[in-house]
Amino acid sequence: MGSKSKEIQRNKSVTANDSKGIHLVKQESLTYHQGPIPAPEELVKYESLCPGLADRIVRMAESQMAHRQGLEQKAVATNAELAKVGIYSAVVISLAVIGSGTYIVSCGQSAEGLVAIIGSLCSLVGVFIYGKESNKRELRERRKIMDSVSKQKNE
């Protein structure tokens, strides 16, 4: 998350109270800043008001960034663990259904057993295909976001 500053020109109208209706226009320059750390000029002003304040502001931003990164790492690790549990559960359930289907076929109910086996395999293939498409869609969305962020930085 980078910081960015923009110079914005704003017109401010001031009208005199005389009978001629004089209209004065004064140009004022405002600075727009976006980011976790104020612009360097602002940090200097903070430091002059209270010695050590600029350092505290920077440390606060660094602390917040480290906290956010820690949360992201935990979220990624948790998602990876959940994905593993999901895969293992799917394997166990599929093997159980295929085993049950095989048992049903061996008991003379070939149609029902084949439906169980084929249904289980089809659902595994369907989940695999859905997962791949979902990942591709998510990557496309992330690329769009990254492209828009890079365009904003270049402006």
Q: Tell me the CA end-to-end span of the chain in Å, nearest whole number.
A: 16
Torsion of CA 131, 133, 136, 137, to 10 degrees: -110
What pLDDT does 58 receive?
92
Q: For residues 10 and 35, is the Cβ–Cβ distance under 8 A?
A: no
pLDDT averaged per 10 residues in sequence order, the chain, 155 residues: 48 46 54 77 91 93 94 94 89 87 88 87 86 88 87 73
Class of residue 90 by CB neighbours under 10 A (exposed 0-12, middle 13-18, buried 19+): middle
CA 46 to mean position of chain CA atoms: 32
pLDDT digits (tens, 9 = 90+) for 82-113: 989 988 888 888 888 888 888 888 888 888 88
What pLDDT does 34 receive?
74
Q: Is 35 helix (H, G, I), strand (E, B) or coil?
A: coil
Q: For residues 95 and 110, is the Cβ–Cβ distance under 8 A?
A: no
- Count of beta carbons in the 10 Å neighbourhood of residue 119: 13
What pLDDT does 71 receive?
96
Report the candidate in 88, 86, 81, 90 with the shortest Cα–Cα distance to residue 125: 90
Q: What is the mean pLDDT of the chain?
A: 80
Give the largest CA-CA distance in the chain: 108
What pLDDT does 19 receive?
53
Positive or negative, the CA dihedral 102, 103, 106, 108 is: negative
Give the whole-number percent of the chain exceeding pLDDT 70. Answer: 78
- From the DSSP assignment, how many helices (H) and strands (E) are in the chain? 3, 2
